[in-house]
């Protein structure tokens, strides 16, 4: 594979870099007319072009399978629109809102649940951003603001700092959470200026890293995360369960351990959403539950994420992991241990 110096955004660039075969050109051109394409140099460097099932390539290099759209799939699979009172705001839960100042990413995941939106427009205009901030100011029940998008860390440190200062001035907002892929996609952009921009004087700020495979946590990515954590910003992780990529206990366990070693607490394992053209990535809920059962028996509690489903239609996120307890008719229960052995448990009167 040729060395990549700039972000690859066109089919011909992906072919020239050795990431796509020539025979896929026509199909990928059709795909690129619908969904955004971008592969950063850092991601291209991680791709093992000799492996047709390379976990990095499968996440970022477009595949003709994405042209297969199923009837159950939706352009808005988790119902953002039903909870969006104005551009840039999603208010699904009473005490927290999503603030989406930007609709672009450094690179585009091929399973993205917002793939119909991201990469098509830059983000909120200045007046729209001020309207979104006013909405937060006028709703005292909002305790947490989650910066999402797109990827909010693609903003310049100056623009990011302005948003953080505005949120810092809202008394009822106590927590700011930033969701990002940037430490993996372009770790060099996690600069001291960007880290300073994330700091506030009166809020708890968290950064949630999206990572799906341990190989994403390169030495450069780990160093980028360390810059955030060493500055006093705690980190969480989000992972999407993806067929053929991380849907076995060894692979998922390796990722969760690697995150904990990086001082990043595994937070959510997302069941893949019903986004258009992503059926080849999805597992069944039952497969996810079996996987979580296997993970419980072999990985530290520090490395256990919560397996969740975002219910289609905008009904919210719920845990869907395996159950270990059956309540009995009498005062008591049957509890199953990590080896599948069932035990009687009597509740005190």
Question: CA torsion sign, 290 to 296 to 298 to 301?
Answer: positive
Burial-class residue 38 by CB neighbours within 10 Å (0-12, 13-18, 19+).
middle
d(C-alpha 323, C-alpha 286), whole Å: 12
Report residue 215: phi and psi, to 5°.
-70, -20
Of 281, 274, 272, 338, the residue nearest 304 (C-alpha): 338
With tokens 């953080």, the residue in question is 164
Residue 39, φ and ψ in degrees, nearest 5: -130, 120
The pLDDT value recorded for residue 2 is 67
Which alpha helices (DSSP H) does 141-212 contain, by range? 157-168, 182-185, 192-198
Angle at 205 between CA 292 and CA 185, to 5 degrees: 65
348: number of Cβ within 10 Å: 5
What does the buried/exposed string (b/e) look like for 111-129 if buried means 16 or more CB atoms within 10 Å of the residue's CB?
bbbbbbbbbeeebbeeeeb
What residues are annotated to the active site? 92-93, 96, 105, 109, 112, 114, 273, 310, 317
Please report where in the chains the tokens 């990572």 appear, as a residue: 211
Question: Which residues does 257 contact at the CB level (< 8 Å), separation at least 6?
Answer: 299, 300, 303
- Calpha distance 264→258 (Å, rounded): 9
DSSP string, 218-238: -HHHHHHHHHHHHTT--EEEE
Could you tell me which of 245, 218, 243 has the C-alpha nearest to residue 53?
245
Q: pLDDT by residue for the chain (349 residues), tens digit each?
A: 667 789 999 999 999 999 999 999 999 999 999 999 999 999 999 999 889 899 999 999 999 999 999 999 999 999 999 999 999 999 999 999 999 999 999 999 999 999 999 988 788 999 999 999 999 999 999 999 999 999 999 999 999 999 999 999 999 999 999 999 999 999 999 999 999 999 988 899 999 999 999 999 999 999 999 999 999 999 999 999 999 999 999 999 999 999 999 999 999 999 999 999 999 999 999 999 999 999 998 999 999 999 999 999 899 999 999 988 887 756 678 888 878 888 888 766 5
pTM: 0.94
Residue 97, helix vs strand vs coil: strand
Whole-angstrom distance, CA of residue 199 vs CA of residue 308: 29
DSSP 3-state assignment of 345? strand
**What distance in Å separates the CA atoms of residue 206 and residue 213, rounded to the nearest whole number?**
21
């Amino acid at each position: 594979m040729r060395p990549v110096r700039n972000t690859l955004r066109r089919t011909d660039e992906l072919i020239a870099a050795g990431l796509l075969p020539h025979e896929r050109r026509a199909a990928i051109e059709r795909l690129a007319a619908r969904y955004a394409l971008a592969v950063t140099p850092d991601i291209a460097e991680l791709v093992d072009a000799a492996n047709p099932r390379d976990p990095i390539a499968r996440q970022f290099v477009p595949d003709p399978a994405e042209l297969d759209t199923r009837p159950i799939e939706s352009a808005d699979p988790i119902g953002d629109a039903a909870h969006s009172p104005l551009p840039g705001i999603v208010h699904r839960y009473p005490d927290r809102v999503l603030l989406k100042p930007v609709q672009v990413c450094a690179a585009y995941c091929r399973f993205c649940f917002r793939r119909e939106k991201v990469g098509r427009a830059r983000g909120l205009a200045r007046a729209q951003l001020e309207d979104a901030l006013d909405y937060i100011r006028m709703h005292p029940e909002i305790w947490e603001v989650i910066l999402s998008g797109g990827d909010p860390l693609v903003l310049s440190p100056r623009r990011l700092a302005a948003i953080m200062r505005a949120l810092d001035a809202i008394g009822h907002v106590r927590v700011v959470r930033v969701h990002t892929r940037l430490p993996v996609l372009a770790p060099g952009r996690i600069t001291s200026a960007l880290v300073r921009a994330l700091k506030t004087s009166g809020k708890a700020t968290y950064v949630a890293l999206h990572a799906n495979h341990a190989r994403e946590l390169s030495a450069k990515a780990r160093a980028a995360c360390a810059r955030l954590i060493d500055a006093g910003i705690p980190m969480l992780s989000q992972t999407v369960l993806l067929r053929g990529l991380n849907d076995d206990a060894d692979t998922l366990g390796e990722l969760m351990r690697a995150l904990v070693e990086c001082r990043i607490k595994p937070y959510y394992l997302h069941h893949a959403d019903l986004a258009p053209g992503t059926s080849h990535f999805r597992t069944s809920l039952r497969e996810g539950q079996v996987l979580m059962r296997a993970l419980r028996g072999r990985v530290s509690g520090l490395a256990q994420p919560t397996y969740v489903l975002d219910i289609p239609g905008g009904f919210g996120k719920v845990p869907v992991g395996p159950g270990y307890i059956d309540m009995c008719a009498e005062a008591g229960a049957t509890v199953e241990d990590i080896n599948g052995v069932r035990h009687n448990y009597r509740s005190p009167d």
